[in-house]
Amino acid sequence: MAKCKVVVVGNGMVGHHFVERLLATGAEAAVVVIGAEPRPAYDRVHLSDYFAGKRPEELALTTREHYAACGVEAHFGDPVVAIDRAAKRVVTAAGRVFAYDKLVLATGSYPFVPPIPGADGDACLTYRTIDDLGRIRAEADRSRVGVVVGGGLLGLECANALRNLGLETHVVEFAPGLMGVQLDPPGSRMLRRKVEALGVVVHTEKATTRIGDGRKRRLVMEFADETSLETDLIVFSAGIRPQDQLARACGLEIGPRGGAVIDHRCLTSDPDIFAIGECASFGGTVFGLVGPGYRMAEVAASQFTADKQHFTGADLSTKLKLLGVEVGSIGDSHGKTPGAICLSYTDERREVYKRINLSPDGKKLLGAVLVGDTSDYSALHQYYLNGLELPAEPESLIFPAASPAPALGPAALPEGATICSCHNVTKGAILAAIDGGALSLADVKGATRASTGCGGCAPLLKSLVDHELAARGVAVARGLCEHFPFTRQELFHIVQVEEIRTFDELLARHGRGRVGCDLCKPAVASILASLWNEHPLAKSHAPLQDTNDAFLANLQKDGTYSVVPRIPGGEITPDKLIAIGRVAKKYNLYTKITGGQRIDLFGATLAQLPHIWRELIDAGFETGHAYGKALRTVKSCVGSTWCRYGVQDSVGMAIRLENRYKGLRAPHKIKAAVSGCTRECAEVQSKDFGVIATDKGWNLYVCGNGGMKPRHADLLATDLDDETLIRTIDRFLMFYVRTADRLQRTSVWLDNLEGGIDYLREVVVEDKLGIGAELEAQMARVIDSYRCEWKATLEDPEKLKRFRQFVNDPDGRDERVVFVTERGQIRPAREEERTALESA
Amino acid sequence: MMEAKSSEAAPLPAFPGEVVCTLDDLVPGGGVCARVAGQQVAIFYLPGEAPPLYALGNFDPIGRANVLSRGILCKIGDELAVASPLYKQHFSLRTGRCLEDPQVAVPVWRVSLVGECVVVAP
């Protein structure tokens, strides 16, 4: 049977989601995607990140290559202009024709620009696509004042963008309040108060009648109340309209507010044409949020399988941060349900407003409004979404009472309870993922996609996963091991507060038994090192160290070690290269260039290590900590010193950073890099922290990873000067050192951090917890107490005793260590080679 | 393993063996390697435990290298063990048995302290 030809018109977030879901079903389909925009689908929800320094490709949800690899035929920048339902084919602007068996309309919406005279000038813009953002940025460069028309969700997002571009920002709204759809009037007033405190000027009940040439500024907006406002640019964000021309032109039934009418299966009035997302009308409603669009995409994709799902409307609850103000809206936020009971709480000092609307019997939650503090959102959303019975005193859910609100534990939720409404993930699906082997928060996120949309359910998901893993007896039994009933973070705190200096002391005071094990010993050694930075081979610390730290070298499979001297930033003089070569030759070591821009010397026996290091140190080298859960290298490209494209001295910065953080012990190894321009030759976005030069300073990326589970780093801060960059990295690293789990890289740490990169930014950049100075001071102590561990070892006969091959024959040979030659260098003999050599 | 305990009081070892080093050469809480009768022996010292000295063959039969003396000492449940520095399997200090794979074991050597001298025997 020939594959079903599925043509998807539109490649926005919803259209792309449909393609992904369809592919995931494994249905026999040949998929063709036709997008009007010049690029594949990207994340429109986080569009304003573009102004915070994200590049278009970072917002991308997919790539041409990915589609090609999945067998999807994709065309961009050539919009479909007509649908021929009789012949079952579509035609593009360029005249290309595509036949379909099933057609999916995912054309989205367009910004509504009110029919105001003068609203069509160059400085009148909209806010919808990446190209729109490019235009706004270009206009902003020659502007001082900007106006956003529309005080809704998208309008305030846009106001934030203008503010980030450095414009004096105004919001002009026709209605009496901001976000009138989601917020009740008191909530709206509180939001306005907070937004105005940020310097954004809000004008409400303003109907614009005309836009003309200004006197002081480029434009003047005239309002119906005979007032006016001068500005340089205007962005219209006054709502959206379904992009439904194709549907209209081919005679599909259209809803009362536009959009192709769809049924429960997301089928239009033509049984071979689906419509999903903002171009569809369901029950007379056009849903302007991504969550319902995703749900439609899933329902439509399911029609190609045996497991057909139904679309039954959508939860429009939302939690977000607008201009830094937390706002939440759940269900019937205005309390319009007949007989609804309203309870509200206002705190003008802290600028917090909360309201819940109850069913007439007071037992169910109909809706809620939260402004200034959305910490109750998760719990309230669960009560609403799953129709749970409220506690006897529901006001305790929002009032900051002396006693805490009754906790809605994850155990209390039914299996059908929706945890993530963006991706429609139920508690049951999460339990299934855990049963299927997802044994961490990050794994559960990967398997179910829960909490990867708006992120509003992150705290709830975390507590659910923790609870379920604990219930299954998975060794998340919070403690580090059987000897310490504490997490690494708790132990760190104990060691710091009680100023504990040794493992034995910590074990005696807070642990069980007298010995410990190979889980707690290295973890505690790392904590002690991060805090007090004593020598790892000091008498009380040496037996705690893991394999490599124990001998300050990297153990290889045959029991020999490799040695890595530090080469900061990868910069090395010819003399030093010669010195390394000389040592390698003298001790017959195998040499290899590492990924971190340095040189690894293999095949050293235990007894050789001090001799090798004596020569390296005499040649001016220091230890490279290749053996430690510590800063490894700061890789760099050659930067502005030599490169035709470099804009900053990346090598100089890399050396400065590597010398600053060398010796810092952490929960796991730390890799870093500095690139001298956006070409990014140092590959910093795969590092724990990475710095990219801009013409104004440095952009700081964090929590990237290469290796087994690659993760692109997140942008933490932009255009920093040298000192701010270093201060921010100090705080970031120390916060990681303090709070990560044992052997947790920064990437996994961030994936498990409640609130994610936004929270990290609040702590590290905005210093919300007020611990910035403390973190910096702690880092300063580590930096000030740095000593080359190998130099100190060579000066101490007690430490050198560890490097005896045999206690009764210090320089004796281990007969198991046998080398053969390959490509002109040594390598360990294989078992059969060893036997052959022995018998020879 | 009463040998070590009795040896603390007695001037003679409870068994004939080879003096490999003095107490001062051992690493409290860790191990060292000695050459005894041509074999490599890992000697572990846990002050405060009874007995305080343990000795196993130094060869890790899973990682196939002479490294056990460089492992971390552990208490797993009631069992004292050393974790191989290569692939982290635990070997009982008492029986030599691998806790993760009971089919695998390493030889146990006798060890005791005579005065300050560490005495080892097969």
pLDDT, tens digit, 9 for 90 and up, residues A132-149: 888 898 888 889 999 999
What DSSP string describes chain B?
--HHHHHHHSSS-SS--EEEEEGGGS-BTEEEEEEETTEEEEEEE-TTSSS-EEEEESEETTTTEE-GGGSEEEEETTEEEEE-TTT--EEETTT-BBSS-TT-B--EEEEEEETTEEEEE-
Contact between A148 and A170 (Cβ < 8 Å): yes
State the pLDDT at residue A703: 96
Place of tokens 């498990």: A752
State the pLDDT at residue B7: 40
Residues of chain B positioned with their CB less than 8 A from the CB of A551: 70
Count of structural domains within chain B? 1
Q: Would the pLDDT of B13 be above 70?
A: no
Report CA torsion sign: A538, A540, A541, A546: positive
Residues of chain B positioned with their CB less than 8 A from the CB of A539: 28
Tokens at B87, concatenated: 């692939």
d(CA A106, CA A277): 6
Q: Would the pLDDT of A90 be above 90?
A: yes
d(CA A764, CA A180): 34
CA distances from A486 to A215, A639, A740 (A): 67, 45, 13
State the pLDDT at residue A290: 85
Q: Flag the least confident range among A133-142, A431-440, A558-567.
A: A431-440
Contact between A69 and A40 (Cβ < 8 Å): no
For an interface test with B, the pick among A504, A518, A800, A818 (most B C-beta atoms closer than 10 Å) comes out as A518
SS (H, E, C) A764-795: HCCCCCCCHHHHHHHHHHHHHCCCCHHHHHHC
d(CA A275, CA A16): 13
Residues of chain B positioned with their CB less than 8 A from the CB of A544: 29, 72
Tokens at A708, concatenated: 């087994």
State the pLDDT at residue A300: 96
The letter for the amino acid at A152 is G
Q: Would the pLDDT of A756 be above 90?
A: no
Half-sphere exposure of A317 (CA within 13 A, CB side): 29
Give the DSSP letter of residue A145: E
Query: A691's torsion region: left (phi>0), alpha (psi -120 to 50) or beta?
Result: beta
Q: What's the pLDDT tens digit per position in A220-244?
A: 999 999 999 999 999 999 888 999 9
For an interface test with A, the pick among B45, B60, B74, B80 (most A C-beta atoms closer than 10 Å) comes out as B74
State the pLDDT at residue A453: 66
State the pLDDT at residue A641: 95
Q: Would the pLDDT of A664 be above 50?
A: yes
Q: Would the pLDDT of B10 be above 60?
A: no
Q: Would the pLDDT of A249 be above 70?
A: yes
- Residue B8 pLDDT class (50, 70, 90 cuts): very low
CA distances from A652 to A301, A569, A630, A639, A649 (A): 53, 8, 21, 9, 5
Report the predicted TM-score, pTM, of the whole model to 2 decimal places: 0.57
The letter for the amino acid at B61 is P
Share of chain B above pLDDT 70, in %: 89
A514 touches B at CB < 8 Å: yes
d(CA A181, CA A156): 13
A216 touches B at CB < 8 Å: no
**Minimal Cβ distance to A517: which of B49, B66, B74:** B74
Contact B66 A816 (CB under 8 A): yes
- Three-class SS state of A354: strand
**Minimal Cβ distance to A515: which of B40, B80, B86:** B80
d(CA B86, CA B99): 15
Contact between A628 and A549 (Cβ < 8 Å): yes
Share of chain B above pLDDT 90, in %: 73
d(CA A590, CA A218): 70
Contact A808 B20 (CB under 8 A): yes
Contact between A335 and A182 (Cβ < 8 Å): no
State the pLDDT at residue A239: 84
A 10 A CB-CB count for A653 gives 23
Contact between A252 and A261 (Cβ < 8 Å): yes
Report CA torsion sign: A434, A760, A291, A35: negative
A513 touches B at CB < 8 Å: yes
Q: What's the pLDDT tens digit per position in A196-224?
A: 988 899 999 999 999 999 999 999 999 99
Residues of chain B positioned with their CB less than 8 A from the CB of A516: 74-75
Q: What's the pLDDT tens digit per position in A273-308?
A: 999 999 999 988 898 888 899 999 999 999 999 888
Contact between B72 and A544 (Cβ < 8 Å): yes
- Three-class SS state of A97: strand
**Minimal Cβ distance to B83: which of A518, A812, A816:** A518
Closest CA to A150 of A129, A172, A128: A172
Q: What is the average pLDDT across A415-442?
A: 82
**Minimal Cβ distance to B33: which of A515, A801, A807:** A807
Residues of chain B positioned with their CB less than 8 A from the CB of A805: 33
State the average pLDDT for chain A.
Answer: 90
Domain with B90 in it: 3-121
- Residue B1 pLDDT class (50, 70, 90 cuts): very low
Rg (CA), chain B: 13
Tokens at A728, concatenated: 């921010």
Contacts of A435 (CB under 8 A, 6+ apart): none
The letter for the amino acid at A591 is T
**CATH number of the domain residue B63 falls in:** 2.102.10.10
State the pLDDT at residue A408: 61
The distance of A487 to chain B (nearest Cα, Å) reads: 19
Contact A809 B35 (CB under 8 A): yes
Q: What is the average pLDDT across B62-76?
A: 95
The reply to whether ipTM tops 0.85 is yes
Which residues of B touch chain A, with CB atoms under 8 Å apart?
20-21, 25-30, 32-35, 40, 43, 46, 48-49, 59, 63-67, 70-77, 80, 83, 85-86, 88, 90
d(CA A356, CA A338): 15
State the pLDDT at residue B41: 97
State the average pLDDT for chain B.
Answer: 88
Contacts of A738 (CB under 8 A, 6+ apart): A489, A492, A493, A775
What DSSP string describes A506-529?
HHHHHSSSSS--TTHHHHHHHHHH
- Residue A718 pLDDT class (50, 70, 90 cuts): very high
Contact A559 B76 (CB under 8 A): no
State the pLDDT at residue A777: 95
List, in sequence order, every residue forming a beta bridge with A562; answer none if it has no partner. A554, A602
Contact A547 B48 (CB under 8 A): no
Tokens at A645, concatenated: 């494209």
State the pLDDT at residue A475: 52
CA distances from A208 to A148, A150, A168 (A): 12, 11, 19
Contact B72 A518 (CB under 8 A): yes
Q: Tell me the angle at which helices A608-618 and A574-586 cross, rounded to the nearest 10 degrees.
A: 160
For an interface test with A, the pick among B72, B86, B116 (most A C-beta atoms closer than 10 Å) comes out as B72
Contact B33 A806 (CB under 8 A): yes
- Which of A327-331, A434-438, A574-578 is predicted most confidently? A574-578
Contact between A14 and A297 (Cβ < 8 Å): yes
Contact between A266 and A296 (Cβ < 8 Å): yes
Contact B74 A513 (CB under 8 A): no
Residues of chain B positioned with their CB less than 8 A from the CB of A559: 65-67
Put simply, the chain A residues between 752 and 811 with a CB less than 8 A from any chain B CB are 801-802, 804-809
Q: Flag the least confident range among A381-385, A555-559, A598-602, A792-796.
A: A381-385
Q: Would the pLDDT of A805 be above 80?
A: yes
Q: What's the pLDDT tens digit per position in A811-835?
A: 899 999 999 999 999 999 998 898 8
Closest CA to A752 of A432, A508, A439, A353: A439
Contact between A696 and A719 (Cβ < 8 Å): yes
Contact between A20 and A116 (Cβ < 8 Å): no
Q: What's the pLDDT tens digit per position in A727-754?
A: 999 999 999 999 998 889 999 899 888 8
What DSSP string describes B65-80?
EE-GGGSEEEEETTEE
CB pairs under 8 A between A and B: 92
Q: What is the average pLDDT across A346-354?
A: 88
Residues of chain B positioned with their CB less than 8 A from the CB of A543: 27-30, 72-73
What DSSP string describes A240-299?
EEE--HHHHHTT--B-TTSSEE--TTSB-SSTTEEE-GGGEEBTTB---SHHHHHHHHHH
Give the DSSP letter of residue A755: T
Q: Would the pLDDT of A180 be above 90?
A: no
Burial class (CB in 10 A: 0-12, 13-18, 19+), A336: exposed
State the pLDDT at residue B3: 42
What DSSP string describes A452-510?
SSS-TTHHHHHHHHHHHHHHTT-TTSSSSBTTB-S-HHHHHHHHHHTT---HHHHHHHH
Consecutive H or E run containing A640: none
Q: Omega before B51 cis (within 30°)? A: yes
Closest CA to A4 of A85, A108, A88: A88
**Structural domains of chain A ordered from first start:** 4-110+242-302 (3.50.50.60), 124-238 (3.50.50.60), 318-408 (3.30.390.30), 488-544 (no CATH), 548-623+790-840 (3.30.70), 631-784 (3.30.413.10)
What DSSP string describes A542-588?
GGG--TTGGGTSEE-TTS-EEE-B--GGG---HHHHHHHHHHHHHTT
Residues of chain B positioned with their CB less than 8 A from the CB of A514: 48-49, 75
Q: Would the pLDDT of A259 be above 80?
A: yes
- Residue A407 pLDDT class (50, 70, 90 cuts): low
